[in-house]
């Protein structure tokens, strides 16, 4: 079988939520294995419940077992070799170990000997499931509502650690080499700060680039050992300093601004009310995306703009228009379900970035927030902001209320713990002229467009 060349794409995984090269992920898993061997601990109750649930259901038990067996058999046919996680029990033990860890920053040594960003294990559970979730059995397992309910409990347990003082260790931890080419560094180290500054200053948009050091770009206290951050999550949802992200044309309601610091993934017009979103092309299906809300028919034939947040980006959502919040809710969904056609079912071989390349599919199945806003500009009218959680980062927090008037650029909410994607929905008849600053939407569009900067105008 011919293996697709994009197993290790030149530009890395979309958003760099996992290292560019699978060998660095494997090195991290081997390090996690060593840690749980040296410091064994009882499985936490939500993981024990998950184990009991799987063992008590004959069909689910068989599917889970075959998911890992199929991943082992199929990955051996790729240049990437054998998977690091072989069985469900081994997965549970490693999952248990993750519950007291926070995402780490990574560097990789290039052939020239220089350290370069390798990405981070921002999706640690996803890293363990990267290949099992790409199998046909994995699709059945992670489509199971009971499995997702139990995963939600496990992620809720982990989130308590990620908002604790103990989770800050990754901000200042000593540098550690975990294999000949992979080094773990502190998030507040000079190298990691340089990377985050680089991502922030490379973002495109209207007006001059806001440059400076990490403390000049983000609100923090460099005189404090942890820069004033109270937890890993507090660091993750850090805010921009005043003036870093000005709102484009604040008095002009014909200008629509970017709702997230993000790179364009898709722009589709004349979107169907209902479509078979699970097919290879991953068409948008408004009924599924909007959870059959009463407002859904108004968007049939309208426009969807989707964009992706990178690992080192700002993770709050702002309003793209001035208007009144009509509805706001969070829809629970799946956590590790991806399009079958981005996994081993693809005749050209599995894509290591499958969860990221399944973003259009995730609009219909993943945990997501729906924020309907009646724009002050009648030429826009009702529109919808749809922040979408991916993998373990499905904690969507809405910070506005129904009936509240929001100004363009005002905060709507935030993602906690990790990376995500989002959509803006407009009704048919809204004549939009987009400006994506020279980028063609798709997985290879890696340059962020600044939050609050103009991305479209109503003609």
β-pairing verdict for 454-458 and 255-257: antiparallel
pLDDT bracket for residue 133 (50, 70, 90)? confident
Question: How far, CA to CA in Å, does 37 sit from each of 90, 97, 422?
Answer: 11, 10, 39
| DSSP 8-state symbol, 174 | P
Average pLDDT over all residues of the chain? 85
Report the percent of the chain where pLDDT is more than 70.
81
Note the pLDDT tens digit of each residue in 170-199. Answer: 999 999 887 777 788 899 999 899 989 999
Interval 39-90: pLDDT, tens = 999 999 999 999 999 999 999 999 999 999 988 887 765 545 556 788 999 9
Tell me the per-residue pLDDT of 228-263, one tens digit each, with 9 for 90 and over: 999 999 999 999 999 999 999 999 999 999 999 999
Interior angle at CA 291, CA 289 and CA 297, nearest 5: 80
DSSP 181: T
For the cut 60, the answer to whether the pLDDT of residue 10 exceeds it is no
CA 144 to CA 133: how far, in whole Å?
Answer: 13
Residue 395: predicted pLDDT: 81
More confident residue, 349 or 57: 57
**Residues 430-450, mean pLDDT to the nearest whole number:** 91
Whether the per-residue pLDDT at 265 is higher than 80: the answer is yes
Mean pLDDT of 144-164: 92
CATH fold, domain 246-332+367-458, is: Glucose Permease (Domain IIA) (2.70.70)
Query: pLDDT band for position 4 (50/70/90)?
Result: very low
C-alpha to C-alpha distance for 46 and 15, rounded to whole angstroms:
30
Highest-pLDDT range among 271-280, 370-379, 383-392: 370-379
The residue that leads in pLDDT, 23 or 33, is 33
- Arithmetic mean of pLDDT, 347-356: 55
Phi, psi of 181 (to 5 degrees): -120, 0
SS3 content of the chain, % helix, strand, coil (to 5): 35, 20, 45
Mapped onto helix, strand or coil, the DSSP state of residue 367 is: coil
pTM metric for this prediction: 0.88
Number of Cβ atoms within 10 Å of the Cβ of 208: 7
On the CB side of 435, how many CA atoms lie within 13 Å of its CA? 16
The SS3 of residue 250 is coil
Q: Where are the domains of the chain?
A: 5-184, 246-332+367-458
Residue 42, classified by CB atoms within 10 Å of its CB into exposed (0-12), middle (13-18) or buried (19+), is exposed
Choose among 121, 100, 125: nearest CA to 41: 100
CA angle 397, 315, 423 (to 5 degrees): 75
> How far is residue 323's CA from residue 375's CA, in Å, rounded to a whole number?
4
Cα(132)–Cα(112) distance, integer angstroms: 34
Higher pLDDT, 92 or 358: 92
Least Cα distance to 362 among 442, 278, 270, 446 occurs for 278
In this prediction, residue 221 has a pLDDT band, given cuts at 50, 70 and 90, of very high
User: Which residue in 188, 179, 237, 194 sits closest to 23, CA to CA?
Assistant: 179
What's the pLDDT tens digit per position in 353-364?
Answer: 545 666 677 787
pLDDT of residue 374: 98
How high is the pLDDT of residue 94? 94
How much is the average pLDDT of 90-109? 88
Which whole-number Å values give the CA distances from 253 to 95, 126, 202, 285, 393, in the listed order?
48, 41, 27, 28, 33
Choice among 214-218, 270-274, 406-410 with the minimum mean pLDDT: 270-274
DSSP calls for 9-48 = -TT-SGGGSS-SSHHHHHHHHHHHHHHHHHS--PPPHHHH
Range with the largest mean pLDDT of 133-142, 207-216, 295-304, 309-318? 295-304
Examine the pLDDT at 145 and tell me if it is beyond 50. Answer: yes
Residue 6 has phi, psi (to 5 degrees) of -85, 15
Give whole-number Cα distances, 238 to 106, 159, 203, 313, 365, in Å.
20, 17, 17, 9, 28
Helix boundaries (H) for 76-123 = 88-98
Instruction: Judge contact between 23 and 130, C-beta under 8 A.
Output: no
């Amino acid at each position: 079988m011919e293996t697709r060349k994009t197993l290790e794409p030149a530009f890395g995984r979309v958003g760099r939520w996992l290292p560019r090269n699978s060998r660095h992920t494997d090195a991290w898993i081997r390090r996690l294995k060593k840690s749980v061997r040296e410091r064994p601990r009882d499985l936490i109750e939500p993981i024990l419940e998950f184990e009991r649930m799987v063992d008590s259901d004959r069909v689910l038990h068989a599917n889970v077992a075959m998911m890992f067996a199929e991943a082992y058999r199929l990955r051996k046919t790729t240049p990437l070799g054998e998977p690091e996680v072989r069985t469900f029990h081994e997965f549970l033990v490693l999952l248990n170990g993750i519950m007291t860890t926070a995402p780490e920053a990574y560097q990789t040594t290039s052939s020239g000997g220089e350290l370069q960003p390798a990405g981070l294990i921002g999706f640690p559970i996803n890293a363990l499931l990267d290949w099992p979730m790409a199998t046909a059995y994995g699709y059945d397992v992670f489509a199971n509502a009971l499995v997702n309910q139990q995963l939600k409990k496990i992620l809720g347990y982990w989130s308590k650690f990620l908002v604790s003082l103990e989770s800050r260790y990754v901000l200042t931890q000593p540098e550690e080499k975990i294999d000949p080419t992979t080094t773990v560094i502190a998030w507040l180290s000079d190298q990691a700060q340089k990377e985050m500054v680089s991502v922030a200053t490379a973002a495109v948009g209207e007006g001059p680039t806001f440059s400076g050091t990490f403390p000049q770009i983000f609100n923090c206290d460099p005189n404090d050992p942890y820069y004033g951050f109270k937890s890993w999550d507090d660091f993750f949802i850090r805010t921009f300093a005043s003036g870093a992200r000005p709102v484009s044309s604040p008095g002009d309601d014909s200008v629509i601004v970017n709702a997230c610091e993000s790179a364009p993934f898709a722009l589709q017009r004349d979107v169907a009310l209902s479509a078979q979103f699970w097919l290879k092309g991953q068409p948008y299906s408004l009924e599924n995306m909007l959870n059959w809300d009463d407002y859904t028919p108004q968007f049939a034939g309208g426009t969807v703009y989707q964009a992706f947040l990178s690992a080192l980006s700002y993770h709050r959502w702002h309003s793209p228009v001035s208007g009144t919040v009509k509805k706001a809710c969070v829809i629970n969904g799946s956590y590790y379900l991806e399009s079958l056609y981005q996994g081993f079912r693809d005749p050209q071989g599995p894509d290591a970035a499958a969860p990221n390349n399944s973003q259009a599919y995730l609009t219909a199945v993943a945990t997501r927030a729906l924020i309907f806003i009646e724009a002050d500009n009648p030429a826009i009218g009702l529109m919808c902001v749809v922040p979408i959680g991916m993998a373990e980062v499905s904690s969507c927090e809405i910070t506005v209320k129904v009936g509240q008037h929001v100004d363009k650029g005002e905060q709507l909410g935030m993602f906690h713990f990790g990376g995500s994607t989002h959509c803006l929905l407009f009704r048919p008849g809204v004549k939009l002229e987009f400006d994506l600053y020279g980028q063609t939407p798709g997985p290879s569009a890696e340059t962020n467009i600044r939050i609050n900067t103009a991305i479209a105008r109503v003609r």
